[in-house]
Structure 1
Amino acid sequence: MTFWTYRRRDNLVGYLFVAPALLGSLAFVLIPLGMVGWYSLNEWNVLGGTFEFIGGENYKQLLADEKLRDSLVATAWFAAGLVVLNLSLALLLAVLLNLKLRGTTLFRTLFFSPVLVSLVAWTLVWQLMLQPEGSVNGLLGVFGVDGPNWLRGETTAMVSVIVVQVIKNVGLNMVLFLAALQGVPAPLYEAAKIDGAGAWRRFRSITIPLISPTILLTSIITIVGSLQVFAQIAVLTQGGPGTSTTVLIYYLYQQAFQFHHFGYGATISVLLFVIVAALTLLQWQMRRKWVLHES
């Protein structure tokens, strides 16, 4: 009996096709995750050249770290503000652009173009605009409004970072929503109009259910992205004033690369991974309650 049967050759071809993806996941995802978990159990002093196993001490420090609590609060505020504002604005823009009015192609380009701009360049420009003598306060001055020092107030600094990030990435979610809206069958709206349904009722009963899979996708992408924001914080506020904008990933950076506590930094990264995984899993489980055809 021949060893290389047709079925085995067919299976081998399949394994060869998926091998690059599996090897990439192993080399760049699974092994680094395992190494981070190992580092979190050690105290690694790069400058001193020491690497000492300390077990769960870093996790005990994590539970008692008051600055970490402040960081979690800042992260929650940033994520909530970003997700609500981004998704709401993206859906509103998509609905308006879906009306097929004159000039919509130009506006699509304008709203999406920030997505293509370099993140650091975008943030540096906004840093200049948000200075006390910057163009934002200059524009407010035209209307007789004395603008604040946006990046030095605890509330205004957080608002500024959120708005800068929303304007940067709202175009991506807008395009996803627009594609979903264009896939909604027009006869459904016509039938609803005949039955006397108003614009809001049609939006609530037809549009939202039919684009709910896209809403799920954009919410997962936006929430995960909000927990990984770093460049905007580093350029605009450096976590200040105080710790008002020190989100979790920036606190991780401070501990690992400024204070050289690499073991504790790895522990914070484990916490971040758990939070991202838990939120993603929660959204995935809740999809059965509101995403169409998922019940």
Structure 2
Amino acid sequence: MSLAPVVGAPSEQAAAPRRVSRRRDGLAAYGFLAPSGIGFLVFTLGPIIGSLVIAFFNWPVIGERSFAGLDNFVRIFTNDPIFWRTVGNTLLFVVLYVPLNFLLALGLAVWISPRIRGRGLYRLLFFLPAVTPIVANALVWRLLVQPNGVFADIAATFGVEQFNPLGTEAGAMAIVVAMSLWQGFGYNMLVFSAGLDSIPEQLYEAAALDGANAWQRFWRITLPMLSPSIFFAAVMTLITAFQVFAQPYVLTGGGPGVGTTTMVMYLYQRGFQLFDLGTASAVATVLFAIIALITAVQFLGQRRWVHYD
């Protein structure tokens, strides 16, 4: 009398091909990931580590290099007033740009809801500045706001003479923020718009039946359901805001004086104009620490307000 094989117990002959298949799938996955991983190591992680090392050296482009310890950091913190101005300028830009970006992007995303006609065209038009070269956009804005530009002609028709917003620190920073908003709000608008599309319409219908008005539905349904998109946009927008460079570099050159010089502009000047790579790397390390700290705080605080359900 022969015994039937136990049902569900795979034999060694059946398991071996599956192990080979899984191994091949793993090798294929590593192969596809290898170009991205190598690019990250060579162009991202490698330069970060290199910059951190150079920050502890006196590292001229040409000349003798020597170990400096913490001297570069002590110098920028205690004997470099321009560094603190650039920190203040960067923080001012972040405080102005990020909330305005969110208000504009979220407002337009709610406006081009699924009920509006031509929403695809609006999405394209609002997102178009985000994919155009930032230097080209900054050059166009510079032509518009210079003393003999289009804005000056418009101001002259209203009796405003000698219109030159780039001539004052407040006006120059306002132009940098305005140009950055025009350049960048479309990305967040698209993120928020996609998040709004994922909210079930039944939630709004149930809330309306319970007597909730439009404002209550926005606060009780839209914002909580949109919180993952808001969190993602907040992390990315803050990181890019602290790294602002092209807008003030092209529009104002960091002026007037150092009124719009940001931290990235300052490390560029120290490293590639004054050829002091040690100080430039110290500034870059401080900026990296600020961004890492703020990003860590955002990730730790997301548990209290981000809803993934």
Q: TM-score, normalised by structure 2?
A: 0.87
Q: Please say which structure displays the higher CA radius of gyration.
A: 2
Equivalent position SS for 2:166: coil
Q: Which residue of 2 aligns with 1:286?
A: 301
230, 248, 272: which one aligns with 2:287: 272
200, 205, 209: which one aligns with 2:224: 209
Q: In structure 1, what residue type is equivalent to 2:67?
A: F
Identity among equivalent pairs (%): 39
Q: Which residue of 2 aligns with 1:61?
A: 75
Q: Which residue of 1 aligns with 2:64?
A: 50
Output aligned runs, 1:21-100, within 5 Å: 21-47=36-62, 49-64=63-78, 65-98=80-113, 100=115
Q: In structure 1, what residue type is equivalent to 2:136?
A: A
Report Cα offsets for 1:264-283 as digits up to 9, x if no partner.
00111111111111111111
Report Cα offsets for 1:131-185 as digits up to 9, x if no partner.
1222123334444555741111111110100010100111111111111111111
The worse-fitting range, judged by mean Cα deviation, of 72-81 and 146-155 is 146-155
How far did residue 91 of structure 1 move? 0.3
Q: In structure 2, what residue type is equivalent to 1:243?
A: V
- Where does the alignment leave 5 or more consecutive residues of structure 2 unmatched? 1-18
Q: Provide closer, same or farther for how the CA distance between residues 147 and 100 of structure 1 changes in structure 2, counting only shifts above 3 A.
A: farther
202, 206, 231: which one aligns with 2:246: 231
* Structure-2 separation of matches of 1:18 and 1:169: 30
* Structure-1 separation of matches of 2:224 and 2:251: 39
Report Cα offsets for 1:240-271 as digits up to 9, x if no partner.
11221111101111111111111100111111
Q: In structure 2, what residue type is equivalent to 1:55?
A: G
Equivalent position SS for 1:50: coil
- Where does the alignment leave 5 or more consecutive residues of structure 1 unmatched? none
1:178 aligns with 2:193: yes
Report Cα offsets for 1:170-218 as digits up to 9, x if no partner.
1111111111111111111111111111111100000000010000011
Pairwise CA RMSD of aligned residues? 2.1
Q: Provide closer, same or farther for how the CA distance between residues 133 and 204 of structure 1 changes in structure 2, counting only shifts above 3 A.
A: same
* Structure-1 separation of matches of 2:162 and 2:99: 25
The worse-fitting range, judged by mean Cα deviation, of 147-156 and 167-176 is 147-156
Q: TM-score, normalised by structure 1?
A: 0.91
1:106 aligns with 2:114: no
Equivalent position SS for 1:151: helix
Q: Provide closer, same or farther for how the CA distance between residues 186 and 38 of structure 1 changes in structure 2, counting only shifts above 3 A.
A: same
